[in-house]
């Protein structure tokens, strides 16, 4: 029952939060964006936010491949025999490198080996360890505090508040490693910049200052509240429904 309820809750949370996750990744990996709304407007005008992916590496590559294409066109246009970078007609524009999640994973494995599929895994582990600890601990404490007198569980409003706050706290501590993870996983589209986690962190801080580690923090927290409200409400609802059916 816990497995089914958790799966349904997770799916609902991803459905709610994925568009803002795309914006978050682009803000973390593209210095050109001056803020959240700049990134949202630019992404919507060019792509209408039409993106899906099942895993972290494929997700980040799909979310950033448009920027990589533009960078490659600029590099090719800087040579002596360069042609104007503006496409004369839509058919002349280059096709996206990745046609979808499975094609992306297959391409990464073919071009970069199996290690390419695990790029950023160390940053992902460092991000998720203390983040999930904060997530479930804060949810349990808040549920206990928000439960009415004489009840062991909170009502729907209590679950909404506890889930939303737990998500915000988790992402508040996870954002620095999330920035590094996104940059490592986006690396490889064009010229590679980072040799590993530490090199990525040092290079990013040296080039953009310590604030780079908190890129996307506001967006992460704004996204986390509604996403985790939905996650835990769906989880608790399915759990109580299945328990009612089985008793």
189-201: pLDDT as tens digits: 556 788 888 998 9
Residue 243's pLDDT band (boundaries 50, 70, 90)? confident
pLDDT for residue 55: 56
Contacts of 66 (CB under 8 A, 6+ apart): 46, 47, 96
pLDDT for residue 121: 74
Angle at 42 between CA 36 and CA 43, to 5 degrees: 90
Work out the percent of the chain whose per-residue pLDDT is above 70: 62
List alpha helices for 147-216, DSSP H: 156-186, 197-208
User: Using one digit for the tens of pLDDT, what is the confidence trace for 85-118?
Assistant: 444 444 445 577 777 767 777 887 787 777 777 7
User: Using one digit for the tens of pLDDT, what is the confidence trace for 140-156?
Assistant: 999 999 998 888 888 88
Helix (H, G, I), strand (E, B) or coil at 134: helix
pLDDT for residue 199: 92
Cα separation, 15 vs 58, whole angstroms: 17
Task: Give the residue, 12 or 208, on which the prediction is more confident.
Answer: 208
Strands (E), the chain: none
pLDDT above 80: residue 16: no
CB 178 within 8 A of CB 220: yes
pLDDT above 60: residue 65: yes
Residue 46's pLDDT band (boundaries 50, 70, 90)? low
Specify whether the backbone of 48 is left (phi greater than 0), alpha (psi in -120 to 50) or beta.
Answer: left
Task: Give the residue, 181 or 11, on which the prediction is more confident.
Answer: 181
User: Using one digit for the tens of pLDDT, what is the confidence trace for 182-231?
Assistant: 888 777 655 678 888 899 899 999 999 999 999 888 888 888 898 888 88
Task: Give the residue, 157 or 33, on which the prediction is more confident.
Answer: 157
Task: Give the residue, 226 or 126, on which the prediction is more confident.
Answer: 226
């Amino acid at each position: 029952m816990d497995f089914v309820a958790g799966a349904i809750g997770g799916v609902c949370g991803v459905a709610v939060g994925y568009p803002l996750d795309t914006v978050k990744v682009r803000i973390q990996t593209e210095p050109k964006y001056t803020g959240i709304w700049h990134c949202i407007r630019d992404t919507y005008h060019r792509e209408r936010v039409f993106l899906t992916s099942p895993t972290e590496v494929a997700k980040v590559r799909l979310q950033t491949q448009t920027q990589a294409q533009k960078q490659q066109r600029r590099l090719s246009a800087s040579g002596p025999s360069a042609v104007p970078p503006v496409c004369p007609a839509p058919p002349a524009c280059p096709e996206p490198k990745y046609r979808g999640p499975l094609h992306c994973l297959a391409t990464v494995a073919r071009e970069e080996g199996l290690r390419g599929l695990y790029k950023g895994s160390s940053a992902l582990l460092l991000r998720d360890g203390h983040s999930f600890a904060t997530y479930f601990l804060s949810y349990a404490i808040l549920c206990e505090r928000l439960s009415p007198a004489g009840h062991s569980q909170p009502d729907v409003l209590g679950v909404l508040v506890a889930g939303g706050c737990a998500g915000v706290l988790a992402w508040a501590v996870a954002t620095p490693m999330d920035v590094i993870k996104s940059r490592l996983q986006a690396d490889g589209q064009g010229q590679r910049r980072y040799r590993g986690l530490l090199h990525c962190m040092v290079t990013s801080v040296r080039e953009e200052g310590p604030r780079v580690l908190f890129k996307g923090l506001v967006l992460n927290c704004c996204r986390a509240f509604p996403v985790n409200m939905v996650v835990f409400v769906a989880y608790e609802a399915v759990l109580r429904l299945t328990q009612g059916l089985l008793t």
